[in-house]
C-alpha cells in the first residue's frame, strides 16, 4: 500500500529494540532537518533538535527551500503562521522533497478552522508526506471528516480521529500521528497507542511543533518511518516526565525539558516503551 517499508506486526520487545536503534541513529548521524515552521516556535524547535543530536536548518524562503530540501535528511513543514511567501516555499520544498526521496513531515496547525491554511494543507497532501502529525481536530479536518478545533487546541479525543488518520495514511502511504494524552499512531492497517508525557507540555508554547521537528529528525535517521515516529513521541514523553519532576512551573519546565531531551538515550527509550504502550 505504500512506498515506505512499514513493518509487519511485531512483538513489544521488537518495538523496544526498534526505538532504541532509532535513538542511536539520531545520535550517530546528526540528521540535517530543514524547518519551514512558524515564527512563534523557531527557537524552541531549533533547541530541541540540537538537544536530541540533530542539526536544524531554518531554510524557509521561497528562493532556497526547494534546493535545500533535496540535500536535507528530512523536512518539517509546519503551518502555524502561513503567508503567501511561506506557502510558496512550503509547496516548493514539499515537491522537491518528494522528487528527491527526502522524507518530510506535515504539521497541519489549526487546519479546518481557517480557510487559507486548510487549502494549503490539502494541496500539500498531493506530495505524499512521510508523516502527518497533529491533534485530533486537525487530523479530522485535514481528512475532510469534520471541522477544526480552536486554533492549536482541541477537545477531541485522539481515538475519535483514528478513522481520519487511517484514511490519510491510505491516501499518502505514510504514517499519521494524532497527539493527545494517549498518542494514536497509524500506519496502514497498524495502530499503536502511546501514553505518558506531562500535562505541562500543553502549557508550553511550541511543544507540539517541536515534536513535529523531532519526528523529522527520526525519519531522517532511521529506515522505518513507523519506528521513527514512535521513538520521537516516546522521547518527548519521557523527557517531559523527567522535567515535570524537576520543576514547579512552565517556565522552568521548558529548560528542564530540553535538558532531558538531551539526556534521554537509547537505553531509556527501550526501558520506557513497554509501560507506555496503551
pLDDT at position 7: 46
Residue numbers of the domain that contains 171? 12-273
In a domain, 209, yes or no: yes
DSSP H helical segments within the chain, as ranges? 12-29, 42-52, 65-69, 84-100, 115-125, 136-142, 162-172, 207-221, 225-246, 250-263, 266-273
Q: Tell me if 58 is assigned to a ligand binding site.
A: yes
Q: Cell digits for 278?
A: 496503551
In a domain, 89, yes or no: yes
pLDDT at position 153: 56
In a domain, 164, yes or no: yes
Give how many domains the chain has, as a whole number: 1
In a domain, 219, yes or no: yes
Give residues with Cβ within 8 angstroms of 137, minimum separation 6: 112, 113, 146, 147, 148, 149, 154, 155, 156, 161
pTM exceeds 0.85: yes
In a domain, 129, yes or no: yes
Q: Cell digits for 197?
A: 508525557
In a domain, 3, yes or no: no
Q: Residue 113 sits in a domain of what CATH number?
A: 3.40.1190.20
CA distances from residue 208 to 37, 80, 183 in whole angstroms, order as listed: 12, 11, 12
Tell me the CA end-to-end span of the chain in Å, nearest whole number: 26
Give the residue ranges of the chain where pLDDT is below 50. Answer: 1-8
In a domain, 5, yes or no: no
Q: Tell me if 133 is assigned to a ligand binding site.
A: yes
pLDDT at position 13: 77
In a domain, 7, yes or no: no
pLDDT at position 4: 41
Amino acid at each position: 500500500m505504500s512506498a515506505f517499508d512499514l513493518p509487519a506486526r511485531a512483538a513489544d520487545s521488537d518495538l523496544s529494540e526498534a526505538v532504541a536503534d532509532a535513538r542511536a541513529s539520531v545520535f550517530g548521524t546528526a540528521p540535517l532537518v530543514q524547518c519551514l515552521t512558524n515564527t512563534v516556535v523557531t527557537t524552541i524547535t531549533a533547541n530541541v533538535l540540537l538537544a536530541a543530536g540533530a542539526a536544524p536548518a531554518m531554510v524557509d524562503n521561497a528562493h532556497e527551500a526547494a534546493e535545500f530540501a533535496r540535500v536535507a535528511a528530512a523536512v518539517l513543514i509546519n503551518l502555524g503562521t502561513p503567508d503567501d511567501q511561506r506557502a510558496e516555499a512550503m509547496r516548493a520544498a514539499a515537491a522537491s522533497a518528494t522528487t528527491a526521496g527526502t522524507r518530510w513531515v506535515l504539521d497541519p496547525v489549526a487546519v479546518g478552522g481557517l480557510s487559507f491554511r486548510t487549502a494549503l494543507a490539502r494541496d500539500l497532501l498531493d506530495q505524499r508526506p512521510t508523516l502527518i502529525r497533529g491533534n485530533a481536530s486537525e487530523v479530522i479536518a485535514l481528512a475532510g471528516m469534520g471541522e477544526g478545533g480552536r486554533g492549536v487546541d482541541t477537545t477531541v479525543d485522539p481515538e475519535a480521529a483514528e478513522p481520519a488518520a487511517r484514511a490519510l495514511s491510505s491516501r499518502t502511504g505514510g504514517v499519521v500521528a494524532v497527539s493527545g494524552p494517549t498518542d494514536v499512531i497509524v500506519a496502514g492497517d497498524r495502530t499503536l497507542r502511546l501514553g505518558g508525557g506531562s500535562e505541562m507540555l500543553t502549557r508550553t508554547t511550541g511543544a507540539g511543533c517541536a515534536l513535529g521537528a523531532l519526528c523529522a529528525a527520526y525519519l531522517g535517521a532511521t529506515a522505518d518511518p513507523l519506528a521513527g515516529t514512535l521513538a520521537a513521541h516516546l522521547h518527548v514523553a519521557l523527557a517531559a516526565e523527567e522535567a515535570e519532576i524537576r520543576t514547579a512551573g512552565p517556565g522552568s519546565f521548558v529548560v528542564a525539558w530540553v535538558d532531558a531531551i538531551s539526556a534521554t538515550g537509547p537505553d531509556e527509550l527501550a526501558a520506557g516503551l513497554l509501560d507506555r504502550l496503551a
